[in-house]
Structure 1
């Protein structure tokens, strides 16, 4: 990490560990590009493709806690 007097520490490029897309994910994305053409792919198309993996990557306890907080907020707001 690099440190600065004026800013919080900034992670180096090597510090970030981004997950590599799996082969099937890459094929799905390329399939959409081939079907529709690169200039015709919308954000909604990509969101539809990526959403299932994103939802699956969130642990169930986190989902349960978030749902509980949403219910608590809605109950408090409705009074």
Structure 2
């Protein structure tokens, strides 16, 4: 039990933990931003987007999502659905429908890019 630990120690430990997490999240955010910037500068981001588009069309993802959109609109009625509502409803399903093989291929391409440009 922690009942014997003085409150000031708990609060300072908690405060340290929060600052530590913030720094790590900040470092993660900075790393993501640096990687994204490098992908953009080198034109790799656009190539990855094109690859993703092609793979999603090839596997039928686009058609599945389009059909789901139509179902949602029919169910709720066109006049009762906003774009925001549709996006909120479709996004989780869209992410879940992306085949693992497509995710793995994109991840491999990103890793290969980072290995080639390891100055990050």
**Common topology (TM > 0.5):** no
Q: TM-score, normalised by structure 1?
A: 0.41
Larger radius of gyration: 2
Q: TM-score, normalised by structure 2?
A: 0.31
Q: Highest relative contact order (Cα 8 Å, sep 6+), 1 or 2?
A: 2
Q: Which has the higher helix share?
A: 2
